[in-house]
Amino acid sequence: MSTTELLRREWTAFRRPGRLIALAAAALTVIALGLLFTSGTRASCDGPCPAAPVAGDGSIVSDRFWFLHRDLGREGSITVRMTLMTGTITYPPPNHDQIVSGLVPWAKAGIIVKDGVRQGSHYAALMMTGSHGVRFQYDYKHDVAGGSGGVSEQSPRWLRLTRSGDTITGSESADGEQWHTVGTAKLDGLPDNVQVGLFATSPGDLTLREIGLGGAIEEVRFTQAVGVFDNVAVEGGATGAWASDSIGQMNHTDWEKYHNASGAVEKDDVITVSGTGDIGPFSDEGARSVENTLLGLTVALIIVLIAAARYGARTARETASRRVIATRAAVVGAATFVTGLVAVGVVLPTSMAILKGNGIPVQPVPVLTGARVIVGVAAVLALCAVLAYGLGVWLRRVWAAILIGLSLAALPYAVAAFPLLPDTLSEWLLRLTPAAGFAVKQTMVEYPQVTAHYAPSAGYFPLPGWAGLAVLCAYTVIVMRMAVGRKQAAHTDWR
């Protein structure tokens, strides 16, 4: 019998109502839960919700700080001496009822060149940070390290930004005489006049609260950074009074209302700038991502594993050759792949559109990335189905195959997706089990200059997508080889 005829025969045999209903149920679960979640997620603001900052590449970013600024032409510079940087962290655990002095690691204060005051516009900044020294950052995703020392009244730091057309250069000095270049950025399309000045911002202080069996959930505390500057000199810019503005919403918290409002104060040629927020690649507006649309994957995976394991156990009870076993595995994989392709292909773009319609900021997904997620998740479901089918053939017992299949793939993925276990344990589960394959759906990026909860429960996988898929493929190949080998041995013994 030709391969085509064998495939046609096995596909006809596979198309029993029970199996088709199982695959349809898996697809509908992914679609229904994704749409249910996104339809019920709506923006809630006092009045119109502010638009999330969008960078030039279309990504939603953080862009919130206090800005004391004036015009700067195509050739010019700003030089300052930063004498002090302090900060405040409010309401720390466990009782959230105290205010303490301190700086979070990525609190920032320094000088910045920006294309106007619109959130999301091009910028380059040279800054002192809470605990990462001097940094040169530009266009939200780029970070260059400078000196590692901090600032104090005994050891101030000189900072300088120089503009030449679209090129911005950041330099630092300990004495204002000997300068060291920290970094250079080319910001294409800068207008003739940009805004230059002093800024301060401070992201929330991230703490983790233990729950469940050692899992952790994020808690963020309000913080504020304060930079003190003197010897401010601008060349090639406007003269006269400075403009003082909040980039993004500020002065809405109780701390800012009743204690220390963010802003800029000038006295005796000393300028003090205080602010809160962040300038970086992550949105502080709660932007949603691809992971939020695929909540039904766990249930769909369970359905697929059970159906495939049952089919494998049935195959084991028949007098099937190695060729038939392999053909049936291909049929199971292909049917599951199409199921996943339809389910994810429907729910992902539809859910993202619904979230946008509900006023929820949504990180844009490039076409190629979206295709990678859709095809990748479908491939992972297909490989998991083949794995369960192989377990059924190898073990010959339906419930044994189902339990092992669920323990290898569904259980690790489910417990890692929720903050139930310690992050380290969840990460190892997603390195060593077939559930590693689901790393193909990750779209979020880990940035060294952003403090975040980079853990499976927050949508971060410890392996890149290709590596996770390789782990799943290895499990599937090993199980299928054992299944075919046992069937062949049993056939030889019978003869």
Domain boundaries, the chain: 3-40+287-494, 62-280
CATH 2.60.120.200 fits 62-280, yes or no: yes
Mean pLDDT value across residues 275-302: 86
Mean pLDDT value across residues 349-358: 91
Gap between the Cα atoms of 263 and 39, Å rounded: 39
Question: In what helix (H) or strand (E) does residue 66 lie, and over which residues does it extend?
Answer: strand 62-90
Q: How confident is the model at residue 196 (pLDDT cuts 50, 70, 90)?
A: very high
Q: Above pLDDT 70, what percent of the chain?
A: 95
Per the document, the length of the chain is 495
Region of poorest pLDDT, from 63-77, 298-312, 352-366, 434-448: 352-366
Query: Model confidence over 141-164: pLDDT tens digits?
Result: 999 999 877 887 668 999 999 999
> Can you read off the two tokens belonging to residue 316?
């084991």
- Provide the residue type at 291 as one letter: E
Region of poorest pLDDT, from 112-126, 273-287, 463-477: 273-287
Q: What is the torsional sign of CA 217, 220, 221, 224?
A: positive
Predicted confidence at residue 495, as pLDDT, reads 42
Gap between the Cα atoms of 402 and 405, Å rounded: 5
Q: How confident is the model at residue 303 (pLDDT cuts 50, 70, 90)?
A: very high
Gap between the Cα atoms of 172 and 159, Å rounded: 5
The dihedral formed by the CA atoms of 372, 378, 384 and 390, expressed in degrees to the nearest 10: -120
Query: Model confidence over 36-76: pLDDT tens digits?
Result: 999 988 877 767 778 889 999 999 999 999 999 999 999 99
10 Å Cβ neighbour count for 363?
A: 19
Gap between the Cα atoms of 435 and 415, Å rounded: 11
CA distances from residue 415 to 26, 202, 232, 304 in whole angstroms, order as listed: 19, 33, 54, 18
Global pTM reads 0.91
Q: How confident is the model at residue 489 (pLDDT cuts 50, 70, 90)?
A: low
Predicted confidence at residue 490, as pLDDT, reads 54
Predicted confidence at residue 494, as pLDDT, reads 39
Gap between the Cα atoms of 348 and 162, Å rounded: 44
Distance from the Cα of residue 162 to its chain's centroid: 33
Mean pLDDT value across residues 247-252: 94
